[in-house]
Structure 1
Amino acid sequence: MKAIIYSDNGGPEVLRLVDREVPEPGPGEVRVRVAVSGVNPTDWKTRAGATNPKQFPEVTPHLDGAGTIDAVGAGVDDSRVGQRVWVLMAAAGRPTGTAAEFTVVPAGQAVPLGEASFDVGAALGVPALTAHRALTVAEDGPGRLQPGALDGKVVLAAGGAGAVGHAAIQLARWAGATVISTVSGPEKAALATAAGAHHVVNYRAGDPAAEIRGLAPEGVDIVAEVALGANLALDLAVLKTRGTIATYANDGGQPVELDVRQNMNLNSRFQFLVLYTVGVQAITAGIEDVAAAVADGALPVGEEHGLPLVRFPLDRTGEAHQAVENGTVGKVLVEI
């Protein structure tokens, strides 16, 4: 099979296209013929050695993807062969990610996709599960998502044109929330609106805090935050008492300084999150709820749905990594 591998950490140039034996699934595992591989920021950061040390002599990158199960290991029902699936966390603690013609994962990490496209499947994984976690950690909010779960709640999705922001908008809308998204300009505003945001606020113009307060006079219940250092003052200015800021990144790297008294008075809650250590219970809940949203048609992709798709062939995976690192708007996909 064709696969992308790297043997040393470094820039995109360490990625190589090679021929490798088709892997065999072990007990409790399935083998997936990958159709589309999704690229996330964590993929290039892991390749670069910016997160954790490389665990294996050779690594095929990428956590997310979609394809068709073509073989199962012992203990897995044979009826799963031929099933269209989305794959999550493929390269987490394993050397075999989705940037290859085949990948092997535990059966629970290959989730039935139904009639949704492989593009949708490859765009789920990290973004959708991260968004799900952000929307289910509030003290006064639901622990699971379904239609009606966020009725009466106001969600602020920072950076609504990004992959996680896009998923947060879609999942919050599906669950019944009023969704506000902050963006940096009109093009991204159009994407956040297409994703389903009820209101879009340009944080670079006018008084965004006053604008958000005008839309949500009692304040925002949950903030799904991508740039905590840069956006903290705005978040706290619009946060409802007992509200939650769920942060999954700190884009821009601006230091975070907390006014303790301000947060005491708000009884605010900060939830920091990363999927690698979120725990089995949270991952399982996310998989089940995201799968239900997919079945309802609530997580479409493409520019008309607020998430442009940027495609690369397998032999240009290095360019796909560079595109993500450079902040390309939309979802970067590698077509196998």
Structure 2
Amino acid sequence: MAAPAPARRDAAAASLPGMVTVVEVGPRDGFQMERGLIPTATKIALIEGMIEAGLRHFEATSFVSPRAVPQLADAAEVIAALRGRPGVQLTALVPNAKGAARAAEAGVDAMVVFLSASDTHNRKNVNRPTEESLAGLAGICRIAGDAGIPVQGAIATSFGCPFEGEVPHGRVVAIARQMADLGIRTLSLGDTTGMATPPLVRGLCRALGEAVPEMAPTLHFHNTRGIGLANVLAGLETGVTRYESSIGGLGGCPFAAGATGNICTEDLVYLLDECGIESGVDLEKLIEVAHRVEAAIGRELPGQVMKAGPRLRRHATGEVATANG
């Protein structure tokens, strides 16, 4: 059962959404960055732990070429072991028609198609210009449609590009419009190297809402410059109710200079709890899973709440030395 939200919300918090959907992307965006291969059984057990903690939405894997990302070569096995759980949605990133066909065969709940708002990053990431990636979306949508599987969109470098600098809101909105014309109704705005700021978040969310009102935005922040949760608050102020995060702060992009981990799921849930916003996630249980993830990958993770615990966690006085003198 999720930890109870504070009984009272102050005036500022009262203007924020009362409920938020947390989408866990660590099994894809996070695990793909780890050098040591994580056993399939371990991945499945960790996701099961997150489900037990109350998470219901996962970007569980990617049907990318196993040669390109060996860590995700077990995509079909992961989906097969986890699908059919009541209330749990398993999505997978698909880079092309071949990946979409594999995802359809595996029985994912939704496919995620992606490209970059900046042409330079798109060429680095998938070795083709953005317009070519856009042209390929129709084929993926047809494969997904034939299988009865919805398609979600994702636009990387939505808030800035490490190669090109500023990315105009109009560029992101134009891509979103083309995705919406293909029937895509859920769109993740990716902050690939942590270049988002609260004013940029508010500006882009408002621009998207005005130009493509049928598109429901999801915000995907990285904590590269330490203001990931400040950006979440800016998104909440504009009414966005769907956020992607990664357990323990896993993640990054291998094709972008300076990329670091995603905002941490436990830190995000803690923020939501303290603002009186319901997420359905039990923070204490999630912290336990974060420590299991840390042990599985064999290195310290950047999450803060997994280290300190919730604000009102009590400690025995014997745990801390008493000052002398």
TM-score after normalising by structure 1: 0.28
Which structure's relative contact order is higher, taking Cα pairs within 8 Å and 6+ residues apart?
2
The structure whose residues are more often strand, as a share, is 1
The structure whose residues are more often helix, as a share, is 2
TM-score after normalising by structure 2: 0.28
